[in-house]
Chain A
Amino acid sequence: MSDDLYELGDPIADGKVPAGPIEDRWTTRKFEAKQINPANKRKKKIIIIGTGLAGGSAGATLGEAGYHVQQFCFQDSPRRAHSIAAQGGINAAKNYRNDGDSVYRLFYETVKGGDFRSRESNVYRLADISRNIIDQCVAQGVPFAREYGGLLDNRSFGGTQVSRTFYARGQTGQQLLLGAYQALMRQVEAGNVELFPRHEMLDLIMEDGRARGVVVRNLINGEVKNYTADAVVLASGGYGNVYFLSTNAMGSNVTASWRAHRHGALFANPCYTQIHPTCIPVSGDHQSKLTLMSESLRNDGRVWVPKKAKDERRPADIPEDERDYYLERIYPSFGNLVPRDIASRAAKNVCDEGRGVGPGGLGVYLDFSDAIGRLGRDKVEAKYGNLFEMYERITGENPYDTPMRIYPAVHYTMGGLWVDYDLESTVPGLFVIGEANFSDHGANRLGASALMQGLADGYFVLPATINDYIAKNALPPVADTAIAEAQERVNGRIDKLLSIDGDRSVDSFHRELGHIMWEYCGMERTEEGLRKALELIPALREEFWKRVKVTGKGEELNQQLEKAGRVADFLELGELMVIDALHRAESCGGHFRAESQDEEGEAKRDDDAFGYVAAWGWSGEGAKPVLHKETLNFEYVKPTQRSYK
């Protein structure tokens, strides 16, 4: 297949992971990293794109360390970053429940949950640092849930049997983000961080193969400006909006990552998309996005569908023995708490059998009547009240009286720019943190691990490694020509988008791309479908550049122009996702290839053929991407068939 879709490039080494026992590697790396003395840090400039959990915590920490940080976000305030919407919680191996949890167990479960497609050394470090994150956030005043003794409360989450998840009702992401945001604001006041809200990065400034700055557009007045630095950090989040309908915020996009990819940053595992099992089903074609409900609901809610297909009775009228609690039936030891990929596919399967509920049969029940009976309505309300309220607001149904309806939706992307152990991409001087990188979740992210990774990268990992790069490299002032070239690229692209003046709106293209992606590169993929998508996407892209209509001018607040640039990048990324999904002829985690399943319909991995990270290189518009493989070695957690039965 390599002939028709891609070229095979050189393999890549597992960059910069120190040798030795896994529990010592991070200590070793930190010790070996070159330091910069505090007086010199003030003269060093770092640019950060994005202000979510990863970017916000990195900006606060690097500012505090004494660097001169310039930080950009497209929202009107750093506090709006989409991390704020994370509901459920953050994992940490504190073992406060005395239930046998440990760093090693969190490490083990994360590697296994990611279906053995992540890098052991990174995951171990993540599990280890998780404990410091909680300490950090508590010190900042993050109001985590507490018990009557004043100590922190915990709950359990999908894919795990211990209670290691710290939470703040159903708004954990909001509280963690506000913690990072406040720490960042403190650095702004101290003069260490310069903040640029309503600015969007549109290109990288490159010199001698290094990332030396960015070109941004001021979204208020359209001014295109450049900023240079010693290093650039992308903390710009995931690319789930390629599907149009997803749980991502409307502005979430891939542009910063994609521009970097076009300058040589490898894009790893783009096909790994997490479909989240507990979203509110689609209600109509006006819909602009999907709303997720925390999967912590699965702790107490029981998932079921009628046993009989096309059963249109109200849920209350369906007697107990005519209900199929299918997760509890198929996966008795994990039940409703199976990992996200398993829960999502199981929902799809029962709906495919015609047993789905609600409009169009695309939904399953999440029923709290047992929990309300067992705990009482007050306890259920204390735990999940805001989620219930949100559900009622959106659907007009009261979940205390009737079961919620849920269906899977695109939520998180495990793929992203390839980074080494230092979180540096294949473009020297370009670091990538949080959801924007590919590193820690493998083919499937466990619940409550995204917040953990964002904060681990921003508060602890990046600040310990970026010194080393800046200290080791002479970084002279950037030549005017390099800046001018980058600026030229950005202006040219804006002019092009504005000059087409076609007859189709940006959104209409985005919606169409989303349909293609969901249909052929969604919860289940087949070779035939993926090949079909490879015919449709390039044609759509061609049409976009001929027929898109972008109203208004460049020199003003122009939301259509903003969207158009992002959709143009999604149209290129979508094709790469499909190529990646097509080449990976195995099932793993969020990537389920129908051709690769066992007799019971469970995903069948092929470690011998695909036990690697697929890192794709850009080779020009219309040219075949180049596949570089990073072989994954498992010294500690031996790959086994994942079983949750």
Chain B
Amino acid sequence: MKLTLRVWRQSDPQDKGKMVEYKLDDISPDASFLEMLDVLNEKLIADGSEPVAFDHDCREGICGMCSLVINGTPHGPERNTTTCQLHMRKFKDGEVIDVEPWRAKAFPVVKDLVVDRSAFDRIIQSGGYITAPTGTAPEAHSTPVPKPDADAAFEAAECIGCGACVAACPNGSAALFLGAKITHLGLMPQGQPERWDRAVSMLDTHDDEGFGGCTNTGECTVACPKGIGLDVIGRLNGDYLKASAGGKKK
């Protein structure tokens, strides 16, 4: 395949950054999008130029590290797909492809296509867990979980923390990410004691980190590579409201 890439190049957070055009030919349709960028980088190195910095690791669609806004869409045109699992057979020969980093106030650009997503870790730190000391847990079968709850919790827990929801949202909201964790933990009996405090403190952190408010545009769920549904935002809002009504709000 022959391709024209227009890639966002930015040497450091202070640099203004710009789109730079590269031509590639002889790309295998079986290559993944990141493998195509590997080929570009090999070519740049051979030409004595700086390769493009981009984040990736497992290349199996599960670690959540790969990103890239491709032709204006986070993780590219294919639904329920991470960038590493997007294959070039999904593009047309001769196509012009724009490649940009996640754009969001809470995700500053580090270099080229690499952004800083550590705000997500800080949201989890503020309550995205169950307080269970190690070594003293009760027998696993002493806490049955109804199968429908376990399945729904699992589906919410599939969130890979990639941040595509934020990049897709016109407000830069992380409500889908937040809702996924609130839903996962809130559906299980183990997660009940901290449920209300969790909703309040995680949402407070979310706002403090510079993520925007949710206005139900639904772009997040379209961009989510794991197909997390808008219902998790409903649960987030429900828990937050109940917590506020119960006087838990700080």
Contacts of B214 in A (CB 8 A): none
Among A60, A150, A183: residue with most chain B CB under 10 A = A150
In chain B between 197 and 243, which residues have their CB closer than 8 angstroms to a CB of chain A?
none
Contacts of B30 in A (CB 8 A): 283-284, 286
Instruction: Find B143's partner among A94, A138, A178, A556 (CB 8 Å cutoff).
Output: A138
- Total A-B pairs, Cβ < 8 A: 215
**Tally of chain B residues near chain A (CB < 8 A):** 77
Assembled-state Cα–Cα distance A141/B39 (Å): 42
Known A85-B60, A138-B190, A189-B125: A150·B145 in contact at CB below 8 Å: yes
Instruction: Find A141's partner among B121, B139, B185 (CB 8 Å cutoff).
Output: B185
**Tally of chain A residues near chain B (CB < 8 A):** 80
The interface stretch among B91-99, B130-138, B165-173 is B130-138
Indicate whether A339 reaches chain B with its CB closer than 8 angstroms: no
| Inter-chain contact A82/B150, CB cutoff 8 Å | no
Indicate whether B140 reaches chain A with its CB closer than 8 angstroms: yes
| Inter-chain contact A132/B53, CB cutoff 8 Å | no
Contacts of A560 in B (CB 8 A): 45, 51
Name 26 interchain pairs, CB-CB below 8 A, sorted by A.
A77-B120, A77-B161, A80-B58, A134-B140, A138-B143, A139-B143, A141-B188, A150-B147, A151-B141, A168-B154, A171-B62, A174-B160, A175-B157, A182-B128, A182-B129, A286-B38, A288-B35, A288-B38, A396-B89, A505-B45, A551-B45, A551-B48, A556-B11, A557-B12, A559-B53, A560-B45
| Inter-chain contact B130/A394, CB cutoff 8 Å | no
Indicate whether A583 reaches chain B with its CB closer than 8 angstroms: no
Which residue on A lies nearest to B129, using beta carbons? Answer: A182
Indicate whether A140 reaches chain B with its CB closer than 8 angstroms: yes
User: What is the distance, in angstroms, from A333's C-beta to the closest C-beta of chain B?
Assistant: 31
| Inter-chain contact A286/B31, CB cutoff 8 Å | yes
Q: A64-B133, A84-B62 are in contact. List 10 more A-B contacts (CB 8 A).
A: A136-B135, A138-B140, A138-B143, A141-B190, A181-B124, A249-B63, A283-B30, A291-B59, A551-B51, A559-B51
Indicate whether B184 reaches chain A with its CB closer than 8 angstroms: yes
Contacts of A81 in B (CB 8 A): 63
Indicate whether B70 reaches chain A with its CB closer than 8 angstroms: no
Which residue on B lies nearest to A63, using beta carbons? Answer: B134
Contacts of B114 in A (CB 8 A): 557
User: What is the distance, in angstroms, from B110's C-beta to the closest C-beta of chain A?
Assistant: 6
Among B27, B50, B55, B157: residue with most chain A CB under 10 A = B157
Contacts of A556 in B (CB 8 A): 11-12, 111
Assembled-state Cα–Cα distance A268/B182 (Å): 44
Assembled-state Cα–Cα distance A393/B151 (Å): 24
In chain B between 53 and 94, which residues have their CB closer than 8 angstroms to a CB of chain A?
53, 55-65, 81, 85, 87, 89
Q: Which residues of A contact B (CB under 8 A)?
A: 57, 60-61, 64, 75-82, 84-85, 94, 96, 132, 134-141, 143-152, 168-169, 171, 174-175, 178, 181-183, 185-186, 188-189, 195, 197, 220, 247, 249-251, 283-284, 286-289, 291-292, 390, 393-394, 396, 459-460, 463, 505, 507-508, 549, 551-552, 556-557, 559-560
Q: Which residues of B contact A (CB under 8 A)?
A: 11-12, 27-28, 30-32, 34-36, 38-39, 42, 45-46, 48-51, 53, 55-65, 81, 85, 87, 89, 110-111, 114, 116-118, 120-121, 124-126, 128-135, 137-141, 143-147, 150-151, 153-154, 157-158, 160-161, 184-185, 188, 190-191
Which residue on A lies nearest to B133, using beta carbons? Answer: A64
Contacts of B39 in A (CB 8 A): 286
Assembled-state Cα–Cα distance A181/B124 (Å): 9
Among B30, B42, B81: residue with most chain A CB under 10 A = B30
Which residue on B lies nearest to A58, using beta carbons? Answer: B134
Assembled-state Cα–Cα distance A556/B140 (Å): 48
Contacts of B154 in A (CB 8 A): 143, 145, 168-169, 175
Known A189-B125, A394-B85: A249·B138 in contact at CB below 8 Å: no
Known A60-B134, A288-B38: A185·B125 in contact at CB below 8 Å: yes
| Inter-chain contact A76/B117, CB cutoff 8 Å | yes
| Inter-chain contact B59/A557, CB cutoff 8 Å | no
User: What is the distance, in angstroms, from B213's C-beta to the closest C-beta of chain A?
Assistant: 24
Among B45, B129, B130: residue with most chain A CB under 10 A = B129
Closest 10 CB pairs of A and B: A150-B144, A182-B129, A139-B137, A143-B154, A139-B132, A135-B137, A146-B150, A189-B125, A138-B140, A286-B31
